[in-house]
Amino acid sequence: MAFSLTQKGNLQYWTADALAPFAHAFSTRLGGVSEGYLSSLNLGVHRGDKLDNVLENYRILGEAVGFRPEDTVFTRQEHTDIIRRVGCTDRGTGLFREQTDVCDALITNQPGVALCAFSADCTPILLCDPEHRAIAAVHAGWRGTALGIAAKTVEAMQRTYGSRACEIRAAIGPCISRCCFETDRDVPDAMLAALGPDAEPAIERHGKKFHVDLKELNRIWLARAGVPVIDVCEACTACRPDLYWSHRVQGPQRGSLCAVIALPGEIMQ
C-alpha cells in the first residue's frame, strides 16, 4: 500500500491505496487560481483570499477527484478531540455558510457528502470503512495527537456506524515531519504522558530541543485502535514550501491544504 502523486494539468494532489475506491485527495498548493502569497490552490476561506478564487479552487479539485463544492462539509479546527457526525443536510457548511460547531474531525455514512479537514503543517488523516460505507476526515495538530483524536475517531465510527476497527483503513497525509518539527519539552512530555514508552521512538533529543514525528505518533494511535491498514505519506510540508503550505515556514501569510474524502460512485449525483 502506498501514496501516489496525481497530476492533472497544473493540479497536483496525493491519493492513498488504502482509501481506494473512495474519492479522496490530499491537496498540494499547485493547480488553483489564487494569487500572490496564496498562489495557487488555497482551500481555506479565512486566509484573506477572494471567495470566488476559493470556490474555483474547489471546483478544480472536485472535478478531478469526484466531488462538488456544494457537497463539502468543513471542520472548525481548534486543536480539540471533538468529532462531529454530519450528513446531507450539512452540505455546504464551511464553504457557503459558516461552520459554527467546533470540531477537529468529521464522520459520515451518507453519500453526497465530502468531508474536509485542513492543514499547513498539522497532520491530516482520512479513514474509510468499505464494509459499512463510512468515512472520516481528521485534523491532528500536536495537541490533537496527544489527545488521541485519530483513535477516538475510529471509536466514533464503531459506535455510530457499527464499523469494526479491523475493517477500517487509514491514510496519514503530508505534514511537518520529524526532520523539521523542532519543539520544546512540552510536546514530547504530552506524547509520553498519552502513549507511554510507545512514543519514545518518535522523539529525538537535540540539545535543549526535541524533534517529534507526528506521523508515527498518529500511526501508533491508529494501530492501537486496531486499524490494520495505514498508509503514511513521506512528504514534509516544511521541507517543500514550494509544494505545500507550511505555517512554520510561511507564517500567517499562507493558504490552507485540504484533505477530502467522499463515498464512491454517488457523490456527483
pTM: 0.97
User: HSE (CB half, 13 Å, CA atoms) of 19?
Assistant: 32
State the Cα–Cα distance between residues 27 and 20, nearest whole angstrom.
16
pLDDT digits (tens, 9 = 90+) for 33-52: 999 999 999 999 999 999 99
CB 83 within 8 A of CB 154: no
d(CA 45, CA 48): 7
How many C-beta atoms lie closer than 10 Å to residue 260's C-beta? 29
Cell reading at 17: 491505496
Domains in the chain, CATH or no CATH each? 3-262 (3.60.140.10)
Per-residue pLDDT of the chain (269 residues; tens, 9 = 90+): 699 999 999 999 999 999 999 999 999 999 999 999 999 999 999 999 999 999 999 999 999 999 999 999 999 999 999 999 999 999 999 999 999 999 999 999 999 999 999 999 999 999 999 999 999 999 999 999 999 999 999 999 999 999 999 999 999 999 999 999 999 999 999 999 999 999 999 999 999 999 999 999 999 999 999 999 999 999 999 999 999 999 999 999 999 999 999 987 554 33
SS (HEC) of 72-124: EEECECCCCCCEEECCHHHCCECCCECCCCCECEEEECCCCCEEEEEECCCEE
Distance of alpha carbon 104 from alpha carbon 77, whole angstroms: 5
DSSP string, 208-253: TEEEE-HHHHHHHHHHHHT--EEEE---BTTT-TTTS--HHHHTTS
